[in-house]
């Protein structure tokens, strides 16, 4: 009786150690795997349109940005939403700060650093950089990264916008998928590939020196679900007419059969 019990105990311990090891590795890397949901196309303006539910189908998560990922403490909690449509990837980052419209946050920025794969170095940066928070003045900036040096792209790709509402701010990004341009200074997202992305935050327009807090996520780009276009109106009308005629003829024959049965019953009686 003892041997089976010992085997079960040893097997349980092995499983617990394996799970703990996996969890430890994930915490060290600070990466959370996210799968974008397929939804409608949001307007990239920094405004979360609740009335039209434009981000309603997004994969919604909450994560912390930390000063030191290897020893996370006192992080900034952000809402992180990811979504795709047929052609593009969209990311929304939202959080609150006390007295967010004050001059302390005039040069606030939030950005996403993108790696070619799950483990590679970051080579692309998309940032939204404020110059005056209280008046809502910002720029969308596209950089490529060479040996940790941020170099402004010759041609900016993607789009980004942000807007402050009270003390809460929303940053929104959009970028095309499946663009194969080897001359571009960007990481282009390909379907069924997983990318390592670092979300960064700072309060002074200097990169990477003034990146204060960050965290990493993994995003796996999905194939969009094909939705067939609605049929033309003339085909809809044609189908209505055809099925209407068929329905009328069917009703006529059913009534004729009933009348014939009634007549036969009267004759037999």
Provide the number of structural domains found in the chain.
Answer: 2
At residue 49, does pLDDT exceed 70? yes
Q: Is 55 within 8 Å of 48 (Cβ atoms)?
A: yes
Confidence (pLDDT) at 18? 46
Q: Which two tokens stand for residue 103?
A: 């001059």
Percent with pLDDT over 90 in the chain? 57
Q: Does residue 123 fall inside a structural domain?
A: yes
DSSP 10: H
Q: Does residue 23 fall inside a structural domain?
A: no
At residue 238, does pLDDT exceed 70? no
Q: Which residues contact 72 (CB under 8 A, 6 or more apart)?
A: 30, 64, 66
Confidence (pLDDT) at 32? 62
Confidence (pLDDT) at 14? 46
Length of the chain equals: 269
pLDDT averaged over every residue in the chain: 83
Are residues 243 and 138 located together in one domain of the fold? no
Q: Which residues contact 230 (CB under 8 A, 6 or more apart)?
A: none
Query: Which H or E run contains 44?
Result: none
Q: Does residue 21 fall inside a structural domain?
A: no
Q: The whole model's pTM is what?
A: 0.72
Are residues 191 and 248 located together in one domain of the fold? no
Q: Is 142 within 8 Å of 162 (Cβ atoms)?
A: no
Query: Which H or E run contains 144?
Result: strand 137-146
Confidence (pLDDT) at 33? 77
Mean pLDDT check: name the lowest of 24-33, 60-69, 82-91, 236-245.
24-33
Q: What is the CATH number of the domain that holds 182?
A: 2.60.40.1190
Are residues 144 and 244 located together in one domain of the fold? no
Q: 28 pLDDT band (50/70/90 cuts)? A: very low
Which range of 12-16, 177-181, 192-196 scores highest in mean pLDDT? It is 192-196
Higher pLDDT, 254 or 228: 254
Are residues 155 and 243 located together in one domain of the fold? no
Q: Does residue 72 fall inside a structural domain?
A: yes
Q: Which residues contact 221 (CB under 8 A, 6 or more apart)?
A: 36, 84, 89, 177, 189, 190, 191, 192, 193, 194, 195
Q: 16 pLDDT band (50/70/90 cuts)? A: very low
Higher pLDDT, 154 or 119: 154
At residue 53, does pLDDT exceed 80? yes
Are residues 104 and 198 located together in one domain of the fold? yes
Confidence (pLDDT) at 21? 40
Are residues 118 and 242 located together in one domain of the fold? no
Q: Which two tokens stand for residue 71?
A: 């020893």
Q: Is 65 helix (H, G, I), strand (E, B) or coil?
A: strand
Which range of 1-5, 138-142, 178-182, 189-193 scores highest in mean pLDDT? It is 138-142
Q: Does residue 187 fall inside a structural domain?
A: yes
DSSP 171-229: EEEEEEBS---TTSSSPPB-TT-EEEEEEEEESSS-TTTT--EEEEEEEEPPPPPP-PP
Residue 154 Cα distances to 17, 77, 134, 185, angstroms: 50, 34, 30, 8
Domain containing residue 153? 32-220
At residue 207, does pLDDT exceed 80? yes
Higher pLDDT, 61 or 179: 61
The backbone region for 214, taken as left when phi is positive above 0, alpha when psi lies in -120 to 50, beta otherwise, is beta
Burial label for 67, CB within 10 Å (0-12, 13-18, 19+), is: middle
Mean pLDDT check: name the lowest of 50-59, 67-76, 192-201.
67-76
Q: Which of 205, 201, 130 is nearest to 162 (CA)?
A: 130
């Amino acid at each position: 009786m003892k041997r089976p019990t010992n085997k079960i105990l040893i097997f349980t311990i092995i499983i617990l150690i394996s799970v703990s090891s996996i969890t430890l590795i994930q915490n060290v890397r600070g990466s959370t795997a996210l799968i974008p949901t397929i939804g409608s196309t949001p307007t990239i303006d920094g405004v979360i349109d609740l009335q039209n539910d434009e981000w309603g189908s997004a994969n919604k998560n909450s994560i912390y940005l930390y000063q030191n990922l290897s020893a996370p403490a006192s992080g900034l909690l952000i809402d992180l939403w990811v979504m795709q449509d047929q052609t593009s990837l969209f990311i929304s980052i939202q959080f609150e700060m006390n007295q967010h419209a004050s001059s302390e946050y005039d040069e606030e920025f939030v950005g996403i650093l993108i790696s070619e794969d799950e483990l590679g170095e970051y080579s692309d940066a998309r940032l939204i950089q404020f110059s005056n928070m209280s008046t809502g003045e910002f720029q969308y900036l596209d950089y490529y990264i060479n040996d940790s040096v941020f170099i402004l792209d010759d041609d900016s790709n993607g789009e980004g916008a942000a807007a402050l509402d009270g003390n809460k701010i929303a940053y929104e990004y959009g970028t095309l998928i499946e663009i194969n341009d080897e001359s571009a200074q960007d990481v282009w997202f390909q379907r069924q590939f997983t990318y390592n992305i670092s979300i960064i935050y700072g309060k002074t327009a200097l990169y990477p020196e003034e990146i204060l807090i960050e965290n990493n996520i993994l995003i796996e780009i999905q194939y969009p679900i094909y939705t067939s276009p609605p049929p033309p109106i003339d085909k809809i009308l044609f189908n209505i007419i055809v099925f209407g005629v068929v329905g009328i003829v069917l009703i006529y024959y059913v009534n004729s059969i009933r009348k014939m049965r009634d007549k036969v019953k009267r004759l037999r009686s």
